[in-house]
Chains A and B, each alone.
Chain A
Amino acid sequence: MSVLPYVVAAWLVLVGLYGIVTSRNLLHLVVCLAVMQSSSYLLLLSIGYVKDAEPPIFADVPPTTPAVDPIVQALTLTDVVVGTTVTALLLALAVQTHKRYGTLDPEELRPKRPQA
Protein backbone atom coordinates (compact mmCIF):
# COMPACT_ATOMS: atom_id res chain seq x y z
CA MET A 1 0.00 0.00 0.00
CA SER A 2 2.95 2.26 -0.45
CA VAL A 3 1.38 4.00 -3.46
CA LEU A 4 -2.24 4.08 -2.29
CA PRO A 5 -2.29 7.79 -1.36
CA TYR A 6 -0.97 8.69 -4.80
CA VAL A 7 -3.59 6.58 -6.55
CA VAL A 8 -6.28 8.23 -4.45
CA ALA A 9 -4.92 11.61 -5.48
CA ALA A 10 -5.13 10.64 -9.16
CA TRP A 11 -8.67 9.34 -8.57
CA LEU A 12 -9.70 12.66 -7.04
CA VAL A 13 -8.45 14.40 -10.17
CA LEU A 14 -10.60 12.19 -12.32
CA VAL A 15 -13.66 12.60 -10.11
CA GLY A 16 -13.27 16.36 -10.00
CA LEU A 17 -12.84 16.66 -13.75
CA TYR A 18 -15.84 14.38 -14.34
CA GLY A 19 -17.90 16.60 -12.10
CA ILE A 20 -16.86 19.72 -13.98
CA VAL A 21 -17.53 18.18 -17.37
CA THR A 22 -20.99 16.86 -16.57
CA SER A 23 -22.11 19.62 -14.26
CA ARG A 24 -25.62 21.09 -14.58
CA ASN A 25 -25.18 23.74 -11.91
CA LEU A 26 -22.45 26.34 -11.57
CA LEU A 27 -22.18 25.94 -7.80
CA HIS A 28 -21.69 22.22 -8.27
CA LEU A 29 -19.02 23.00 -10.86
CA VAL A 30 -17.11 25.24 -8.48
CA VAL A 31 -17.19 22.63 -5.74
CA CYS A 32 -15.95 19.96 -8.16
CA LEU A 33 -13.05 22.25 -9.00
CA ALA A 34 -12.32 22.44 -5.26
CA VAL A 35 -12.43 18.64 -5.05
CA MET A 36 -9.92 18.42 -7.85
CA GLN A 37 -7.67 20.91 -6.14
CA SER A 38 -7.82 18.91 -2.93
CA SER A 39 -6.04 16.12 -4.74
CA SER A 40 -2.96 18.32 -4.87
CA TYR A 41 -3.08 18.76 -1.10
CA LEU A 42 -3.19 15.00 -0.68
CA LEU A 43 -0.39 14.48 -3.16
CA LEU A 44 1.88 17.03 -1.53
CA LEU A 45 1.33 15.87 2.03
CA SER A 46 1.72 12.20 1.14
CA ILE A 47 5.01 12.94 -0.57
CA GLY A 48 6.46 14.53 2.54
CA TYR A 49 5.40 11.91 5.02
CA VAL A 50 8.14 10.06 6.89
CA LYS A 51 7.25 6.93 8.86
CA ASP A 52 7.70 7.06 12.64
CA ALA A 53 8.62 10.74 12.51
CA GLU A 54 7.31 13.67 14.52
CA PRO A 55 5.55 16.75 13.16
CA PRO A 56 8.06 19.55 12.45
CA ILE A 57 7.24 21.36 15.71
CA PHE A 58 10.14 21.35 18.15
CA ALA A 59 8.46 23.09 21.06
CA ASP A 60 8.73 20.07 23.36
CA VAL A 61 11.20 17.85 21.61
CA PRO A 62 14.87 18.40 20.85
CA PRO A 63 15.56 19.88 17.43
CA THR A 64 17.34 16.76 16.24
CA THR A 65 14.22 14.55 16.41
CA PRO A 66 13.32 13.03 13.05
CA ALA A 67 10.45 15.01 11.61
CA VAL A 68 8.33 14.94 8.47
CA ASP A 69 9.10 17.26 5.63
CA PRO A 70 7.99 20.83 6.44
CA ILE A 71 8.30 22.14 2.90
CA VAL A 72 5.30 20.28 1.52
CA GLN A 73 3.23 21.49 4.45
CA ALA A 74 4.14 25.07 3.66
CA LEU A 75 3.36 24.44 -0.02
CA THR A 76 -0.02 22.95 0.90
CA LEU A 77 -0.81 25.98 3.02
CA THR A 78 -0.18 28.23 0.06
CA ASP A 79 -2.19 25.92 -2.15
CA VAL A 80 -5.18 25.99 0.20
CA VAL A 81 -5.19 29.78 0.28
CA VAL A 82 -5.02 29.94 -3.49
CA GLY A 83 -7.81 27.39 -3.89
CA THR A 84 -10.08 29.17 -1.44
CA THR A 85 -9.64 32.52 -3.10
CA VAL A 86 -10.32 31.18 -6.57
CA THR A 87 -13.44 29.46 -5.25
CA ALA A 88 -14.61 32.74 -3.76
CA LEU A 89 -14.13 34.56 -7.07
CA LEU A 90 -15.96 31.86 -9.00
CA LEU A 91 -18.84 31.90 -6.54
CA ALA A 92 -19.14 35.65 -6.92
CA LEU A 93 -19.28 35.13 -10.70
CA ALA A 94 -21.97 32.50 -10.20
CA VAL A 95 -24.02 34.93 -8.11
CA GLN A 96 -23.87 37.56 -10.84
CA THR A 97 -24.67 35.01 -13.54
CA HIS A 98 -27.77 33.94 -11.70
CA LYS A 99 -28.85 37.52 -11.21
CA ARG A 100 -28.58 38.29 -14.88
CA TYR A 101 -29.85 35.10 -16.48
CA GLY A 102 -31.97 33.55 -13.74
CA THR A 103 -30.31 30.17 -14.15
CA LEU A 104 -27.16 28.37 -13.06
CA ASP A 105 -27.27 25.61 -15.66
CA PRO A 106 -24.32 25.77 -18.07
CA GLU A 107 -26.46 24.14 -20.77
CA GLU A 108 -29.06 26.86 -20.56
CA LEU A 109 -26.44 29.58 -20.29
CA ARG A 110 -24.92 28.58 -23.60
CA PRO A 111 -25.35 31.34 -26.19
CA LYS A 112 -27.69 30.31 -29.00
CA ARG A 113 -25.09 31.02 -31.65
CA PRO A 114 -21.41 30.16 -31.33
CA GLN A 115 -19.33 33.09 -30.25
CA ALA A 116 -16.62 33.27 -32.87
Chain B
Amino acid sequence: MNARLRLRVFAVAGTALFAALVWGFVGLPDFGSFDGAYGQLLNRLSVPDRASTDVVTTVNFDFREFDTLGEEFILFAAVVGVASLLRTLRGEHVATPDDDVPGRRVPETSLVVGVTGTLLVAPTVLIGIYVVLHGHQTPGGGFQGGVILATGLLLTYLTADYMTMRRVGPTALIEAAEGAGAAGFVLIAIGGLLFAGSFFENFLPIETAGQLISAGTIPLGNLAVGLAVTGGFAFMLSEFLQQTLIKRRREVR
Protein backbone atom coordinates (compact mmCIF):
# COMPACT_ATOMS: atom_id res chain seq x y z
CA MET B 1 0.00 0.00 0.00
CA ASN B 2 1.23 3.48 -0.50
CA ALA B 3 1.32 5.92 2.37
CA ARG B 4 -2.01 7.60 1.66
CA LEU B 5 -3.95 4.38 1.31
CA ARG B 6 -2.34 3.06 4.45
CA LEU B 7 -3.32 6.15 6.37
CA ARG B 8 -6.90 5.97 5.14
CA VAL B 9 -7.25 2.31 6.05
CA PHE B 10 -5.69 2.93 9.43
CA ALA B 11 -7.93 5.92 10.08
CA VAL B 12 -10.97 3.70 9.78
CA ALA B 13 -9.50 0.66 11.51
CA GLY B 14 -7.85 2.66 14.27
CA THR B 15 -10.99 4.56 15.14
CA ALA B 16 -12.98 1.35 15.23
CA LEU B 17 -10.33 -0.26 17.41
CA PHE B 18 -10.33 2.70 19.79
CA ALA B 19 -14.09 2.52 20.12
CA ALA B 20 -13.92 -1.22 20.73
CA LEU B 21 -11.22 -0.83 23.38
CA VAL B 22 -13.14 1.87 25.22
CA TRP B 23 -16.28 -0.25 25.08
CA GLY B 24 -14.34 -3.11 26.63
CA PHE B 25 -12.46 -1.04 29.17
CA VAL B 26 -15.52 0.61 30.67
CA GLY B 27 -16.57 -2.82 31.87
CA LEU B 28 -13.76 -2.64 34.40
CA PRO B 29 -14.53 -1.73 38.01
CA ASP B 30 -14.52 2.01 38.62
CA PHE B 31 -11.10 3.51 39.16
CA GLY B 32 -10.28 3.16 42.85
CA SER B 33 -12.84 0.57 43.75
CA PHE B 34 -11.05 -2.67 42.96
CA ASP B 35 -11.54 -5.42 45.52
CA GLY B 36 -9.63 -8.33 44.07
CA ALA B 37 -9.54 -11.13 46.62
CA TYR B 38 -6.25 -12.49 45.29
CA GLY B 39 -4.35 -9.29 46.01
CA GLN B 40 -5.90 -8.83 49.42
CA LEU B 41 -5.06 -12.42 50.35
CA LEU B 42 -1.42 -11.94 49.44
CA ASN B 43 -1.28 -8.64 51.30
CA ARG B 44 -2.40 -10.47 54.42
CA LEU B 45 -0.06 -13.44 53.95
CA SER B 46 3.18 -11.69 53.17
CA VAL B 47 4.28 -10.56 56.64
CA PRO B 48 3.19 -13.49 58.83
CA ASP B 49 4.11 -16.26 56.36
CA ARG B 50 7.22 -14.85 54.77
CA ALA B 51 8.42 -12.04 57.07
CA SER B 52 8.59 -9.78 54.06
CA THR B 53 7.12 -6.30 54.35
CA ASP B 54 7.30 -5.46 50.65
CA VAL B 55 4.43 -7.44 49.20
CA VAL B 56 5.32 -6.73 45.59
CA THR B 57 8.71 -8.35 46.10
CA THR B 58 7.07 -11.27 47.86
CA VAL B 59 4.76 -11.69 44.90
CA ASN B 60 7.68 -11.58 42.48
CA PHE B 61 10.09 -13.70 44.48
CA ASP B 62 7.90 -16.12 46.34
CA PHE B 63 4.25 -16.45 45.41
CA ARG B 64 4.79 -16.07 41.69
CA GLU B 65 8.51 -16.67 41.45
CA PHE B 66 8.11 -18.84 38.40
CA ASP B 67 6.97 -15.79 36.44
CA THR B 68 10.12 -14.01 37.53
CA LEU B 69 12.16 -16.91 36.21
CA GLY B 70 10.65 -16.35 32.81
CA GLU B 71 11.13 -12.60 33.07
CA GLU B 72 14.75 -13.03 34.12
CA PHE B 73 15.44 -15.16 31.09
CA ILE B 74 13.65 -12.77 28.78
CA LEU B 75 16.27 -10.26 29.84
CA PHE B 76 18.95 -12.91 29.36
CA ALA B 77 17.73 -13.78 25.88
CA ALA B 78 17.54 -10.12 24.87
CA VAL B 79 21.06 -9.45 26.13
CA VAL B 80 22.43 -12.44 24.28
CA GLY B 81 20.44 -11.38 21.23
CA VAL B 82 21.82 -7.86 21.30
CA ALA B 83 25.33 -9.23 21.73
CA SER B 84 25.00 -11.56 18.77
CA LEU B 85 23.35 -8.87 16.64
CA LEU B 86 26.04 -6.30 17.32
CA ARG B 87 29.00 -8.64 17.05
CA THR B 88 31.89 -7.72 14.81
CA LEU B 89 31.01 -8.61 11.25
CA ARG B 90 33.22 -9.53 8.35
CA GLY B 91 34.44 -6.31 6.79
CA GLU B 92 34.62 -4.56 10.10
CA HIS B 93 37.64 -4.02 12.23
CA VAL B 94 37.98 -2.82 15.77
CA ALA B 95 39.65 0.58 15.90
CA THR B 96 40.71 2.97 18.61
CA PRO B 97 37.72 4.58 20.26
CA ASP B 98 36.85 8.04 19.01
CA ASP B 99 37.50 9.63 22.34
CA ASP B 100 41.01 8.22 22.62
CA VAL B 101 42.61 9.08 19.28
CA PRO B 102 44.91 12.05 18.92
CA GLY B 103 43.17 14.92 17.18
CA ARG B 104 39.86 13.55 18.40
CA ARG B 105 36.70 14.88 16.82
CA VAL B 106 34.57 14.16 19.87
CA PRO B 107 34.87 17.05 22.35
CA GLU B 108 36.45 16.38 25.73
CA THR B 109 34.13 16.05 28.70
CA SER B 110 33.99 19.31 30.57
CA LEU B 111 35.42 19.70 34.06
CA VAL B 112 31.98 20.14 35.61
CA VAL B 113 30.71 16.88 34.16
CA GLY B 114 33.90 15.12 35.20
CA VAL B 115 33.75 16.22 38.82
CA THR B 116 30.01 15.73 39.24
CA GLY B 117 30.17 12.33 37.65
CA THR B 118 33.04 11.16 39.77
CA LEU B 119 31.24 12.31 42.90
CA LEU B 120 28.06 10.55 41.82
CA VAL B 121 29.45 7.14 40.93
CA ALA B 122 30.02 5.90 44.48
CA PRO B 123 26.62 6.97 45.85
CA THR B 124 24.91 5.46 42.79
CA VAL B 125 26.55 2.12 43.31
CA LEU B 126 25.80 2.24 47.02
CA ILE B 127 22.17 3.06 46.46
CA GLY B 128 21.98 0.31 43.89
CA ILE B 129 23.32 -2.26 46.31
CA TYR B 130 20.99 -0.95 49.01
CA VAL B 131 17.94 -1.26 46.76
CA VAL B 132 18.86 -4.81 45.78
CA LEU B 133 19.48 -5.98 49.32
CA HIS B 134 16.42 -4.39 50.89
CA GLY B 135 13.95 -5.57 48.29
CA HIS B 136 11.99 -7.58 50.81
CA GLN B 137 11.56 -4.67 53.20
CA THR B 138 11.13 -1.50 51.21
CA PRO B 139 10.21 -0.75 47.61
CA GLY B 140 12.89 -2.09 45.31
CA GLY B 141 14.46 -5.41 44.55
CA GLY B 142 16.75 -7.11 42.10
CA PHE B 143 15.45 -5.52 38.91
CA GLN B 144 15.32 -1.98 40.13
CA GLY B 145 18.66 -2.14 41.96
CA GLY B 146 20.34 -3.86 39.04
CA VAL B 147 19.39 -1.06 36.67
CA ILE B 148 20.77 1.52 39.11
CA LEU B 149 24.03 -0.39 39.30
CA ALA B 150 24.27 -0.54 35.53
CA THR B 151 23.75 3.21 35.50
CA GLY B 152 26.82 3.51 37.69
CA LEU B 153 28.85 1.94 34.91
CA LEU B 154 27.32 4.27 32.36
CA LEU B 155 28.31 7.20 34.58
CA THR B 156 31.91 6.06 34.26
CA TYR B 157 31.64 6.41 30.51
CA LEU B 158 29.98 9.82 30.71
CA THR B 159 32.52 11.10 33.16
CA ALA B 160 35.69 9.71 31.67
CA ASP B 161 35.92 7.90 28.38
CA TYR B 162 35.12 4.60 26.79
CA MET B 163 38.38 2.87 27.63
CA THR B 164 38.02 3.71 31.30
CA MET B 165 34.59 2.16 31.29
CA ARG B 166 36.01 -0.95 29.67
CA ARG B 167 38.68 -1.17 32.35
CA VAL B 168 36.15 -0.81 35.14
CA GLY B 169 33.77 -3.32 33.61
CA PRO B 170 35.58 -5.80 31.36
CA THR B 171 33.35 -7.76 29.03
CA ALA B 172 34.28 -11.15 30.41
CA LEU B 173 33.35 -10.12 33.93
CA ILE B 174 30.04 -8.66 32.85
CA GLU B 175 29.16 -11.73 30.82
CA ALA B 176 30.07 -13.94 33.75
CA ALA B 177 27.87 -11.86 36.05
CA GLU B 178 24.97 -12.20 33.64
CA GLY B 179 25.35 -15.95 33.36
CA ALA B 180 25.96 -16.42 37.08
CA GLY B 181 22.91 -14.40 38.03
CA ALA B 182 20.66 -16.28 35.66
CA ALA B 183 22.02 -19.69 36.64
CA GLY B 184 21.91 -18.74 40.31
CA PHE B 185 18.23 -17.98 40.07
CA VAL B 186 17.46 -21.38 38.62
CA LEU B 187 19.61 -23.01 41.28
CA ILE B 188 17.51 -21.32 43.97
CA ALA B 189 14.51 -22.85 42.32
CA ILE B 190 16.06 -26.29 42.27
CA GLY B 191 17.15 -25.75 45.87
CA GLY B 192 13.53 -25.33 46.76
CA LEU B 193 12.84 -28.62 45.05
CA LEU B 194 15.61 -30.43 46.87
CA PHE B 195 15.30 -28.95 50.33
CA ALA B 196 11.66 -28.03 50.69
CA GLY B 197 9.80 -30.36 48.39
CA SER B 198 8.60 -28.00 45.73
CA PHE B 199 10.22 -26.00 42.93
CA PHE B 200 10.84 -22.46 44.17
CA GLU B 201 9.64 -23.23 47.65
CA ASN B 202 11.22 -21.00 50.25
CA PHE B 203 13.68 -23.26 52.02
CA LEU B 204 15.67 -20.94 54.27
CA PRO B 205 14.57 -19.83 57.74
CA ILE B 206 12.08 -17.01 57.59
CA GLU B 207 13.21 -15.12 60.75
CA THR B 208 11.38 -11.96 61.73
CA ALA B 209 10.10 -9.19 59.53
CA GLY B 210 12.13 -6.02 59.39
CA GLN B 211 15.52 -7.67 59.61
CA LEU B 212 17.92 -7.66 56.72
CA ILE B 213 18.43 -11.42 56.96
CA SER B 214 14.87 -12.60 56.82
CA ALA B 215 12.25 -13.84 54.41
CA GLY B 216 14.21 -16.95 53.50
CA THR B 217 15.28 -17.17 49.88
CA ILE B 218 13.69 -13.87 48.84
CA PRO B 219 16.88 -11.79 49.38
CA LEU B 220 18.86 -14.49 47.58
CA GLY B 221 16.53 -14.25 44.64
CA ASN B 222 16.95 -10.49 44.68
CA LEU B 223 20.72 -10.88 44.69
CA ALA B 224 20.73 -13.28 41.78
CA VAL B 225 18.42 -11.09 39.75
CA GLY B 226 20.37 -7.97 40.69
CA LEU B 227 23.57 -9.58 39.48
CA ALA B 228 21.98 -10.72 36.25
CA VAL B 229 20.30 -7.38 35.55
CA THR B 230 23.47 -5.42 36.26
CA GLY B 231 25.47 -7.68 34.00
CA GLY B 232 22.80 -7.65 31.33
CA PHE B 233 22.25 -3.91 31.10
CA ALA B 234 25.95 -3.13 31.39
CA PHE B 235 26.61 -5.59 28.59
CA MET B 236 23.98 -4.07 26.34
CA LEU B 237 25.27 -0.56 27.03
CA SER B 238 28.82 -1.50 26.21
CA GLU B 239 27.74 -3.27 23.01
CA PHE B 240 25.87 -0.22 21.76
CA LEU B 241 28.74 2.06 22.68
CA GLN B 242 31.15 -0.21 20.88
CA GLN B 243 29.08 0.14 17.73
CA THR B 244 29.24 3.91 17.71
CA LEU B 245 32.73 4.40 19.00
CA ILE B 246 34.83 1.56 17.77
CA LYS B 247 33.57 -0.67 14.98
CA ARG B 248 34.33 0.64 11.55
CA ARG B 249 33.49 -0.57 8.11
CA ARG B 250 36.51 -1.39 6.06
CA GLU B 251 36.81 1.39 3.52
CA VAL B 252 36.23 0.24 -0.05
CA ARG B 253 39.18 1.17 -2.25
Contacts and interface: CB of A to CB of B under 8 A. Distances in A.
User: A and B: direct contact (Cβ < 8 Å)?
Assistant: yes
Interface of A: 1-7, 9-11, 13-14, 17-18, 21-22, 43, 46-51, 55-59, 63-64, 67-74, 77-78, 81-82, 85-86, 88-89, 91-93, 95-96, 99, 107
B22 A21 contact: no
Nearest to B239: A92
Given A22-B7, A63-B43, 14 more contacts: A5-B31, A10-B25, A18-B14, A22-B6, A48-B36, A50-B32, A50-B34, A67-B55, A71-B38, A71-B59, A72-B39, A74-B59, A74-B60, A88-B78
Interface of B: 3, 6-7, 10, 14, 17-18, 21-22, 25-26, 28-36, 38-40, 42-44, 46-48, 53-56, 58-60, 64, 67-68, 71, 74-75, 77-79, 81-82, 85-86, 137-139, 143, 209-210, 236, 239-240, 243, 249
A21 B46 contact: no
Contact of A70 (B17, B28, B33, B56): B56
B242 to A, nearest CB: 11
Contacts of A47: 28-29, 34
B39 A57 contact: no
B18 A92 contact: no
Nearest to A59: B53
Given A64-B44, A92-B85, A46 B21 contact: no
Contacts of A13: 17-18, 21
Given A4-B31, A5-B31, A57-B53, A14 B71 contact: no
Contacts of B243: 95
B78 A86 contact: yes
B26 A6 contact: yes
Given A43-B25, A70-B39, A74-B59, A81 B143 contact: yes
Contact of B56 (A17, A56, A82, A85): A56
Most buried by A among B22, B29, B55, B249: B55
Contact of A63 (B31, B48, B67, B236): B48
Given A14-B14, A59-B137, A71-B38, A21 B31 contact: no
B75 A14 contact: no
A88 B81 CA distance: 9
Contacts of B43: 56, 63, 67, 70
Nearest to A61: B53
A6 B71 contact: no
B47 A17 contact: no
Contacts of B44: 63-64
Nearest to B21: A10
Nearest to B71: A78
Contacts of B139: 55, 57
Contacts of A96: 85-86
A70 B59 contact: yes
Nearest to A58: B53
A103 B78 CA distance: 24
Nearest to B14: A14
3 smallest A-B Cβ distances: which pairs?
A85-B78, A69-B39, A51-B32
Contacts of A82: 71, 74
